[in-house]
Amino acid sequence: MSSGGVLEHFTYIVTVFLMVAGLYVVIARGNLIKKLVGLSVFQTSVYLLYIAPGKLIGGTAPILSPHYTVYSNPLPHVLILTAIVVGVATLALGLALAVRIKETYGSIEEDEITAADNAVQDAEDARS
Amino acid sequence: MNLVEHLPALQVVLPLLSAPLAVLLRHGGIAFAVVTAGAWAAFATAIGLWLQVGEVGVISYHIGSWAPPWGIEYRVDRLASFVLLLVAGTAAIVLPWSRASIEREIPRELHYLYYAMFGLCLAGLLGITITGDAFNIFVFLEISSLATYVLIALGRDRRALTAAYRYLIMGTIGATFYVIGVGFLYLMTGTLNLVDMAERLRDVESSRPVLVALAFITVGVSLKLALFPLHQWLPNAYTYAPSAVTAFLAATATKVSIYVLIRFWFSVFGETLIFERLPLPEILLLLSLAAMFAASFIAIFQDNLKRLFAYSSVGQIGYITLGMSFDSVSGLTAAIVHLFNHGIAKAAIFLLIGGLVLGLAKPGGAPPAPTFDRLAGLARRMPLTCFGIVIAGLSLIGVPGTAGFISKWYLILAAMEAGQFWLVGAILLSSLLAIAYVWRFVEVAYFRPAPEAAGRQEASLGLLLPAWLLVIATLWFGLDTSFSVGSAAEAARFLVKVGG
Amino acid sequence: MENDLVLRVVGKLLIPFILLFALYVQFHGDFGPGGGFQAGTISAAGIVFHALVFGLEQTRRIVPDRLVEAMLAAGVLLYAGVGVAGLLLGGNYLDYFVLDPDPIHGQHRGIFWVEAGVHITVCGVMLKIFYMFASRSQRKDDEA
């Protein structure tokens, strides 16, 4: 197609951007909540990766009818519905853990938590 | 209804049903009974499936009577039935053990949730093993992983929370990588059924999306199985989780991930792609060696016994992946045998350590961390527990007469068969490191004087019996290898033949 | 928000319709977009709305924690139970064809109960998550 690579591969570019951006946030941020936000963005990119190729321009929902001949592939939607549920469960569990960590450590910054852990470790070492 | 015909479905459904029942009944004791019954039923089912595979070969079960590749297929071959036995068997032994231990480690009102999560985790791991559908593997992977994060977070130490959080981040990245890889494969083949996918991949084998899929799946699953540089989540998770959870995970979770990797490499992508066109065996060989030496070396300097054996697990996984890197029947046999032998030895060790810390606890108090200063002279107080750890430790080293020897023997055979004689030296050298870390325990427990003259105070029978069953199993499979090596060799022959 | 008259009146008026709409989405799932997941979240949204307008304690009296937890488990059991029913009636696991002498009708019957199970569990999960986080922040406010 002469319309150029950008438009043709638009969904893929968005997918890869979300994927890399999400992963970057997970790795680069020390805040536990921000890490979870990044993780969610990362997972969202996968939804797009599956859904986008399943859509046919002009295709309808695959409910058989004599009026239509072109249908979109329904399977990716079903798969991604499952993946979304998994993502929600992961996010909820991650947030619950972050809340508990905040309650016991008084912080959700990774470096402060590591420092607190190291302090405990040093105290244990000094005792022995 | 013919029960035998439906064993593949029952394998997953029985433990899966036990989890919501445990939540519904909300009583610790009843939940324990329900989930344990589910695990035992799963074990019986796994035995049934193992026998059935011996009679009829590969079993294919169509969920909802939809024929593959449209419907989800449960597929049991020799390798799957072998891993199912390991997973269900470990659960059947660990669950009765955990009753006495979580009594002291987890608040009473959370007991039913512990059992429900255990049931879910078991169902997830069994599901990963039995299903023949790539996306279904992801769903079961997440079921078991989410349950695992909760189980680890139930640990008493506050560091259990950060360990669970870190594992959640790493595990989710791993699972998402896996699902990205499956997405690419689905784009290229239009199918999710593993057998169908393997056939259709032959036409598009070396196209770029397939290579990308291979990379994503390999890295994602490697995160889950704690291949050497990706093992960062494992030591803390194993150290701070409740004892029973550590024992169960050490024996099953990483092993099931290795199973997934074997499945994809040998059955789906095929050996020609993996071993002939790409430098994957060389990379895997280097990482395995790094795991065998670096992780075992780090293990020697740990002060916490649980953490020591957690690092040892990372090292032992190196032996399994080393066996995979040879691309030969004997190498794969060694990998599969070690997957089993290491699983039972590690489960025994972590159960016995769990008994140890319960013995160290003050009456009614919570068990302390098993640091070496607390273990001095403990062999006199708890002779059976310490002796069990020593025997299972000998299996980690690979002393003749234990199961560990068998797997190392086959590993050395595979290395010689591949003509890489320097690897024999490397395997023996890394075993010396294992001697060093097991010796640290022996030295402290047997030769250091106890701080106070305490009498014999052995762990209760309910704690000793399940653990010693596993210890005896490590000895048994070191002497009679017809079951373990027999199954592994059959599975390896099948896999290498299918791929080649 | 608990003292806002407009919200209270609108809430009281709307919540029954939200729940009714959830049921519409549930049962229309056979013929159009919809189904247990969507319906479950919509009915949970109705109850969460109630909690936002009338306060969490009020809602907890109507939909207690134990009920929510029972919903979590009951939905999964219902789903798995349909599968077991398929087994007992001589088909494979989750085989809907055998649920009725007429296979097409059997498919309808199977998906109906499965979606009902999904609805119950999804609604339970959403409420459980909401209760968990909402009650935590309230407790913290009381302490402060």
Q: Which helix (H) or strand (E) holds B25?
A: helix B7-25
pLDDT value at residue B500: 43
Spatial distance between the Cα atoms of B442 and B378, rounded to a whole number of angstroms: 10
Residue owning tokens 């009381």 = C142
Calculate how close chain A gets to B159, using CA atoms only, in Å: 7
pLDDT value at residue A122: 79
Nearest Cα to B357, choosing from B249, B251, B448, B241?
A: B241
Q: What is the ipTM of this complex?
A: 0.91
Residues B179-211 as b or e (16 or more Cβ within 10 Å = b) = bbbbbbbbbbbebbbbbbbbebbeeeeeeeebb
Number of C-alpha atoms within 13 angstroms, CB side, residue B496?
18
pLDDT value at residue B455: 67
DSSP secondary structure, C14-81, as one string: HHHHHHHHHHHHHHHTTTSS--HHHHHHHHHHHHHHHHHHH-HHHHHHHS-HHHHHHHHHHHHHHHHH
CA distances from B127 to B146, B262, B369, C38 (A): 14, 16, 33, 26
Total number of domains constituting chain A: 1
pLDDT value at residue C95: 83
Among A77, A82, A85, which would you mutate to test the C interface (most chain C Cβ atoms within 10 Å of its Cβ)? A85
Total number of domains constituting chain C: 1
For residue B69, say if its preceding peptide bond is cis, omega within 30 degrees of 0: yes
DSSP secondary structure, B79-125, as one string: HHHHHHHHHHHHHHHHHHHHHHHHHHHS-GGGHHHHHHHHHHHHHHH
Closest-approach residue (CA) in chain A for B143: A86
The residues spanned by each domain of chain B are 1-171+233-266, 287-500
Q: Which of B135, B159, B168 is the closest to A93 by Cβ?
A: B168
Q: Which two tokens stand for residue A95?
A: 């947030």
**Residues B141-188: tens digit of each pLDDT:** 999 999 999 999 998 888 999 999 999 999 999 999 999 999 999 988
pLDDT value at residue B347: 94
Q: Which two tokens stand for residue A123?
A: 């105290």
Q: What residues 32-91 of chain B have any CB closer than 8 A to a CB of chain C?
A: 61-65
Closest-approach residue (CA) in chain C for A95: C133
Listed in sequence order, the DSSP H helices in B263-382 are 271, 280-290, 296-300, 305-325, 329-360, 372-375, 378-381
Domain of residue A28, residue span:
5-127
Q: B363: exposed, middle or buried (C-beta count within 10 Å: 0-12, 13-18, 19+)?
A: exposed
Domain CATH code at residue A97? 1.10.287.3510
Spatial distance between the Cα atoms of B252 and B93, rounded to a whole number of angstroms: 13
**Residues C83-133: tens digit of each pLDDT:** 888 888 888 888 888 888 888 888 888 888 999 999 999 999 999 999 988
DSSP secondary structure, B371-417, as one string: BHHHHTTHHHHSHHHHHHHHHHHHHHHT-TTSHHHHHHHHHHHHHHH
> Across the interface, do B23 and C95 touch by the CB < 8 Å criterion?
no
> Across the interface, do A95 and C136 touch by the CB < 8 Å criterion?
no
CA distances from C76 to B15, B313, C24, C38, C87 (A): 13, 35, 22, 16, 17
Beta strands B59-62 and B73-76, pairing class: antiparallel
CA distances from B474 to B4, B87, B360, B438, C17 (A): 30, 16, 26, 16, 63
Spatial distance between the Cα atoms of B25 and B32, rounded to a whole number of angstroms: 11
Nearest Cα to C51, choosing from C121, C137, C141, C144?
A: C137
Average pLDDT score over residue span A109-113: 88
From chain A, which residues contact C within 8 Å (Cβ)? 61, 63, 81, 85, 89, 92, 95-96, 99
Q: How many other C-beta atoms can be found within 10 angstroms of the C-beta atom of residue A117? A: 16
Q: How many other C-beta atoms can be found within 10 angstroms of the C-beta atom of residue B469? A: 17
Give C125's contacts in chain A (Cβ within 8 Å): 89
DSSP secondary structure, B231-267, as one string: -THHHHHHHHS-HHHHHHHHHHHHHHHHHHHHIIIII
Question: In sequence order, what E strands does A1-128 have?
Answer: none
pLDDT-based confidence at C139, cuts 50/70/90?
A: low
Give A92's contacts in chain C (Cβ within 8 Å): 129
Average pLDDT score over residue span A90-117: 90
pLDDT value at residue C2: 59
**Which amino acid is located at B143 in the chain?**
I
> Across the interface, do A46 and B303 touch by the CB < 8 Å criterion?
no
> Across the interface, do C93 and B64 touch by the CB < 8 Å criterion?
yes
Give C66's contacts in chain B (Cβ within 8 Å): 26
Q: B449: exposed, middle or buried (C-beta count within 10 Å: 0-12, 13-18, 19+)?
A: exposed
End-to-end CA distance of chain B: give it in Å, rounded.
Answer: 39
Q: Which of C74, C80, C95 is the closest to B17 by Cβ?
A: C80
Spatial distance between the Cα atoms of B406 and B91, rounded to a whole number of angstroms: 24
pLDDT higher at A3 or B398: B398
**Residues C11-33: tens digit of each pLDDT:** 889 999 999 999 999 988 777 77
Q: C101: exposed, middle or buried (C-beta count within 10 Å: 0-12, 13-18, 19+)?
A: exposed
Average pLDDT over chain C, rounded to an integer: 86
CA distances from B487 to B54, B85, C48 (A): 10, 11, 54
Residue owning tokens 């002939």 = B276
Calculate how close chain B gets to C119, using CA atoms only, in Å: 16
Q: Which of B138, B158, B164 is the closest to A105 by Cβ?
A: B158
Series of mean pLDDT values for 10-residue runs along chain B (500 residues): 82 92 89 94 94 90 84 90 94 91 86 93 95 93 95 90 94 95 90 89 83 93 90 92 93 94 90 80 91 92 91 93 89 93 93 88 77 83 90 92 91 90 90 92 87 72 89 91 88 73
pLDDT value at residue A1: 40
Whether B142 and chain A come into contact, CB under 8 Å, resolves to yes
Spatial distance between the Cα atoms of B64 and C94, rounded to a whole number of angstroms: 4
pLDDT value at residue B499: 46
Whether B277 and chain C come into contact, CB under 8 Å, resolves to no
Residue owning tokens 């990998």 = B335
> Across the interface, do C77 and B17 touch by the CB < 8 Å criterion?
yes
pLDDT value at residue C144: 41
Give C83's contacts in chain B (Cβ within 8 Å): 9, 13
> Across the interface, do A95 and C33 touch by the CB < 8 Å criterion?
no
Spatial distance between the Cα atoms of B122 and B474, rounded to a whole number of angstroms: 22
Whether C1 and chain B come into contact, CB under 8 Å, resolves to no
Asked if residues B66 and B432 have their Cβ atoms less than 8 Å apart, the reply is no
Asked if residues A84 and A47 have their Cβ atoms less than 8 Å apart, the reply is yes
Spatial distance between the Cα atoms of C99 and B114, rounded to a whole number of angstroms: 35
Number of C-alpha atoms within 13 angstroms, CB side, residue A53?
16
pTM of the model: 0.93
pLDDT value at residue A2: 43
Average pLDDT over chain B, rounded to an integer: 89
Spatial distance between the Cα atoms of B492 and B495, rounded to a whole number of angstroms: 5
Domain of residue C126, residue span:
5-143
Largest CA distance in chain A: 80
Calculate how close chain B gets to A48, using CA atoms only, in Å: 10
Spatial distance between the Cα atoms of B228 and B294, rounded to a whole number of angstroms: 9
> Across the interface, do A61 and C133 touch by the CB < 8 Å criterion?
no
Number of C-alpha atoms within 13 angstroms, CB side, residue A70?
6
- CA-based R_g, chain A, Å: 22
